[in-house]
Chains A and B, each alone.
Chain A
Amino acid sequence: MPLMGKQTWHFPSAPVLLATAAVVGPKEGAGPLGEDFDTVHPDNYIGQDSWEKAERRLIEEACQTALQKADISGDKVDVLYAGDLLNQIISANFAARTLGVPFLGLFGACSTSMESLALAAMTVDAGYADTALAATCSHNSTAERQFRYPTEYGGQKPPTAQSTVTGSGAAVVGKGGVGPRVTHATIGKVVDLGITSPFEMGAAMAPAAADTISRHFRDTGRTPEDYDLIVTGDLARVGHKICNELLEQEGFYLGDRFKDCGILIYDPDQEEVFSGGSGCGCCAVVTYGHLLKRMEKGELERILVIATGALLSPVSTQQGESIPCVAHAVCIERGSGSGD
């Protein structure tokens, strides 16, 4: 049965990640994972005249690079799932216009990377598509404008703040072929434990991540030991510790295999990193760039990636609402031989 337990989807055909791509800005390129990304742009404007156009260019490039690597032309893509952080998800919409493929836009804040991958895998597994594309992006300066202050505004941020990643990740999911396989996805519930400060996203999202992770173990009957790596999207230094404690309260001890993309992407000594990275692009570029490269090298056999999203808007924050959060988990396994 494709539905396991309450919230976990099992994909019997195990759709294949034919290729993935990660395109980033200069700060991400200068970080410890810089060499794992397909393209590192030296300039945050990516040769465009506005931040929004730069973000759009990032996601277009990620999609095109992934398709090139998979040796698939754009007209072979049966469906594109994409989303970003901007109002009306304009980056994804405009990228879909450029690509000219059937498109479903998503908004799951920073959980969009795994939300889109889970949906792409489900669509391929169910036979509604032979090839599906999942993509997401974020840009530090567009996010600053959308959620905080003008980029050049000299306000002081607290140490709990996070730095939105400038980058985009895309994955081509296909029926057969060689590559890592998507075997399970656990769709999260919206969890809100009353955190109201938009500078404490890690603390806001940690309960949603813990809820989805423990649900995944209960639904599949697996234990943390079944995974080489369990990676959250962008909880960063504060939220990751909280999530670990919440999981221990539930009886799951993850230990050293528990990591976070927001912590991995930057060196803590880099300028204005605060507690770590965030944004749709964070989980996407670390997973599609770094983690899958490690899997390709044989260092990892099976990983669980949990993308975490804070579903707030500037209006809801100003009206004093707390931050509803969601987390979606996707299990990726190292592929062996050609698919059948």
Chain B
Amino acid sequence: MKQGPKDKVAYKKMAQRHTPKKPVMANCIKAFLVGGMICLLGQFLQGFYIAYFGFNERSASNPTVATLVFIAVLLTGLGVYDRIGQWAGAGSAVPVTGFANAMSSAALEHRSEGYVLGVGGQMFKVAGPVIVFGTVAAFFVALIKQILTMLS
């Protein structure tokens, strides 16, 4: 079989013809629905903490996030979150619950290699980049804001 650059280009075209398209539109709608539902649940929890536990709108976000993280970790442990994730895609990956799932699934997975090198060492394997690039992005946003304030 010829494997030159031209053959590779021709083959990619041919393979693409047989490859089913990703259902982008359906995925977007599913992501919107599930992501929206998670946010709605968050909104409900926030209202609950404000009404019954004396939090204000700002401070209620802490117990709200903690509750959502708890639910996501529980669903991960019960083996349900990955099923939801396959259906919902970005809808369950983007909210804070997705982050909780990334951390807890890695922790569960590497439990067999012990607490230090397994759970401790591998827990950030999937979620680590989010923290790294979140911090980097925050730094640059803060830098730009500072420069703009100094200029004005």
Residues of A that sit less than 8 Å from B by CB: 49-52, 145, 149-160, 189, 191-195, 200, 203, 206-207, 210-211, 238, 241-242, 245, 271-272, 275
Q: Is the interface of B mostly helix, strand, loop or mixed?
A: helix
Within 3-34 of B, Cβ neighbours of A (below 8 Å) are at 3, 7-8, 11-12, 14-15, 18-20, 22-23, 27
Q: State whether B11 touches A153 (Cβ < 8 A).
A: no
- Chain A residues lying within 8 Å of B19, measured Cβ to Cβ, are 160, 200, 203, 238
* Nearest-neighbor residue (CB-CB) of B10 within chain A: A193
**Could you tell me if B22 and A152 are in contact, using CB atoms closer than 8 angstroms?**
no
Do B18 and A203 have beta carbons less than 8 Å apart? yes
A241 contacts B101, CB within 8 Å? Answer: no
B69 interface hit (Cβ, 8 Å) = no
Across the interface, do A150 and B106 meet the contact criterion of CB distance under 8 Å?
yes
- Point out the residues of chain B lying under 8 angstroms from A157, CB to CB: 86
- What 4 A-B pairs come out closest when comparing CB atoms? A154-B85, A150-B109, A194-B8, A152-B105
* Pick from A152, A189, A241, A245: contact of B109, CB under 8 Å: A152
User: In the complex where A193-B3, A210-B1 touch, is A156 in contact with B102 (Cβ < 8 A)?
Assistant: no
The answer to whether the Cβ of B126 comes within 8 Å of any Cβ in the partner chain is yes
Say how far A258's CB is from chain B's closest CB, in angstroms: 15
Given the known A-B contacts A193-B7, A207-B1, A245-B14, are A49 and B112 also in contact in the complex, defined by CB atoms under 8 Å? yes
Quote the shortest CB–CB distance from A53 to chain B (angstroms).
9
* Interface segment, one of B40-48, B75-83, B133-141: B75-83
Given the known interface contacts A193-B8, A193-B11, A194-B12, the answer about A155 and B104 at a Cβ–Cβ threshold of 8 Å is no
B35 adjacent to chain A (CB < 8 Å): no
Please, what's the 1-or-0 string for B76-116, where 1 marks a CB less than 8 Å from any CB in chain A? 11010111111011101100001001101110111010000
- Assess the A154–B8 pair: CB atoms within 8 A: no
List 6 A-B pairs, Cβ < 8 Å: A150-B126, A153-B85, A154-B84, A159-B23, A207-B11, A242-B14
Whether A192 lies near B98 (C-beta < 8 A) is no
* Inter-chain pairs besides A154-B93, A242-B14, 8 sampled, C-beta below 8 Å: A52-B112, A149-B105, A154-B85, A155-B82, A156-B89, A193-B15, A200-B15, A211-B1
Residue contact B76 to A152, C-beta cutoff 8 Å: yes
Evaluate contact between B82 and A151: CB separation under 8 angstroms.
yes
Shortest C-beta distance, B111 to chain A (Å), equals 9
Contact with A151, one of B18, B84, B109 (Cβ below 8 angstroms): B109
Question: Chain A residues with Cβ under 8 A from B102's Cβ?
Answer: 153
Return A306 CB to nearest CB of chain B, in Å.
Answer: 14
Chain A residues with CB under 8 A of B85: 153-156
Which residue of A52, A194, A238, A245 has the most chain B CB atoms within 10 A of its CB atom?
A194
Partner of B86, one of A154, A206, A275: A154
Are B105 and A160 interface neighbours, CB within 8 A? no
